[in-house]
């Protein structure tokens, strides 16, 4: 069948598209025959053939919300798809498909949907800022920079905006201007310092190191930029000692090869997941990019109790919250007054101040070596 399709004259593709789709439910996405027919249609001007356009649109709509949708919209240069593209961008703000979707929206010049997704009161705003930033286009700066000074924007949204701005050169310049003028809110200074210490524009990175120095490591040394720290090599067995020693005590919250307490993610294979720069960042600025599933909540109970921790499980009438010492509190929902997602990680910021720069490099060496292959 597929081979037959490849040799079919193009004018016969429309009936094929319609027939092949006649008996499949819409939500399933295109079948292989339809996909092959679509592939053959690449480059065809749909505008001059309304019947064909309608048939293609019908199939494209069955892929709504998926990476394939983005691919098809691009392939057929379909217009008027911003709302559906935005769905993909918000769902996959850190993936190629979401970023491609956002790029197409920006290209369309119609930013209405993006602006409403960025409304500080909306739950989609941080993901929207992230997708915008990952396009690395300077056109996003006008959308994001007003959020820095917007008191109604949450810290999470502001931090995503800072990270997004730092991803294009004009945005990084803008952040430095804010820093120079003293208009960078306190709650994002560390995020800005961290993000700008990693940019590839050396002049900007140097200026950032002057204006927004990274917090000092133990021993009062100024911490070098993350990009430079990530290039250094250390001593993994000394790093292991730093990891377990009392003042640092990473094992109070992390498990490595079965040892420790599982409040944060298991780090047994963290060397596969994160590069050295991301490992350093995870330690210096944990509030920036909280690992999925480890968001912290503050739960206040009617009896005046307050628990800061992770949601361990939830049923219709019970919420289980795991606190910082690993204790799970099972709370009846009828006794809960409020539950608010925290902008902060459960992992305390500033743990690098419990060690010297050399020890930090050793710790990174230890973590970078924690891999599946060497277990």
> In the complex, which residues of this chain contact ligand HEC (CB under 6 A)?
248-250, 252-254, 263-265, 270, 273-274, 279, 282-283, 286, 290-291, 294, 324, 345-348, 351, 363, 367
- Whichever of 21 and 289 has its CB closer to ligand HEC, that residue is 289
Closest approach, Cβ 369 to ligand HEC, in A, equals 13
Burial class of 330 by CB neighbour count within 10 A (0 to 12, 13 to 18, 19+): exposed
Number of C-beta neighbours around residue 300 at 10 A: 14
Output 201 or 294, the one with its CB closest to ligand HEC: 294
Closest Cα to residue 114, out of 145, 148, 85? 85
Return the number of the residue (162 or 290) whose C-beta is nearest ligand HEC: 290
Q: Residue 93 Cβ, how far from ligand HEC at the closest point, in Å? A: 16
At 79, phi and psi to the nearest 5? -110, 170
Q: How far is the CB of 333 from ligand HEC (least distance, A)?
A: 24
Q: How far is the CB of 234 from ligand HEC (least distance, A)?
A: 13
> Can you tell me which residue has the tokens 């593209």?
85
Distance between CA atoms of residues 131 and 195, nearest Å: 16
Closest by CA position to 64, among listed 94, 97, 111: 97
Residue placing its CB nearer to ligand HEC in the complex, 290 or 307: 290
- CB closer to ligand HEC out of 41 and 282: 282
Q: Which residues contact 290 (CB under 8 A, 6 or more apart)?
A: 296, 345
> Any idea of the CA torsion for 132, 136, 138, 142, to the nearest 10 degrees?
20
Q: With contact defined as beta carbons under 8 Å apart, do 317 and 182 qualify?
A: no
Q: How far is the CB of 248 from ligand HEC (least distance, A)?
A: 5
Query: For the CA atoms of the chain, what is the radius of gyration?
Result: 25
Looking at beta carbons only, is 139 or 278 nearer to ligand HEC? 278
CB of 360: closest distance to ligand HEC in angstroms? Answer: 9
Q: How far is the CB of 84 from ligand HEC (least distance, A)?
A: 31
- Residue 288 half-sphere exposure, CB side, CA atoms within 13 Å? 26
CA–CA separation, 167 and 132 (whole Å): 10
First to last CA, the chain: 48
Q: Decide whether 178 or 322 has the Cβ nearer to ligand HEC.
A: 322
Q: How far is the CB of 195 from ligand HEC (least distance, A)?
A: 16
CA distance 105 to 115: 11
Sign of CA dihedral 308, 157, 276, 283: negative
Nearer to ligand HEC, 100 or 347 (CB): 347
């Amino acid at each position: 069948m597929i081979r037959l399709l490849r040799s079919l004259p193009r004018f016969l593709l429309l009936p094929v598209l319609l027939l092949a789709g006649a008996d499949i439910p819409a939500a399933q996405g295109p079948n292989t025959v339809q996909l092959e027919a679509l592939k053959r249609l690449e480059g065809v001007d749909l505008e001059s053939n309304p019947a064909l356009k309608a048939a293609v649109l019908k199939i494209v709509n069955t892929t709504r919300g998926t990476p394939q949708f983005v691919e098809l919209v691009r392939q057929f240069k379909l217009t008027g798809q911003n709302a559906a593209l935005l769905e993909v961008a918000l769902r996959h703000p850190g993936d190629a498909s979401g970023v491609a979707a956002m790029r197409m929206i920006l290209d369309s010049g119609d930013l209405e949907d993006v602006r409403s997704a960025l409304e500080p009161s909306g739950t989609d705003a941080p993901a929207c800022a992230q997708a915008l930033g990952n396009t690395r286009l300077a056109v996003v700066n006008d959308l994001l920079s007003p959020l820095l000074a917007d008191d109604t924007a949450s810290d999470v949204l502001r931090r995503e905006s800072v990270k997004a701005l730092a991803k294009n050169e004009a945005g990084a310049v803008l952040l430095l201007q804010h820093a120079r003028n003293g208009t960078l809110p306190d709650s994002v200074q560390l995020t800005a310092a961290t993000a700008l210490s990693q940019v590839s524009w050396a002049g900007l990175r140097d200026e950032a190191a002057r204006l927004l120095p990274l917090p000092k490591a133990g021993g009062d040394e100024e911490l070098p930029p993350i990009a430079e720290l990530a290039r250094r090599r250390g001593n993994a067995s000394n790093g292991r000692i730093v990891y377990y020693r009392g003042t640092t005590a990473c094992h109070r919250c992390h498990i490595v090869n079965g040892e420790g307490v599982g409040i944060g993610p298991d780090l047994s294979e963290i060397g596969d997941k994160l590069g050295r720069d991301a490992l350093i960042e995870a330690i210096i600025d944990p509030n920036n990019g909280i690992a999925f599933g480890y968001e912290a909540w503050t739960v206040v109970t009617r009896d005046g109790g307050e628990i800061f921790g992770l949601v361990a499980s939830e049923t219709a009438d019970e919420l289980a919250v795991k606190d910082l010492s690993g204790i799970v509190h099972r709370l009846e929902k009828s006794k809960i007054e409020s539950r608010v997602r925290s902008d902060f990680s459960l992992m305390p910021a500033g743990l690098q101040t419990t060690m010297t720069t050399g020890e930090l490099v050793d710790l990174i060496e230890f973590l970078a070596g924690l891999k599946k292959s060497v277990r």
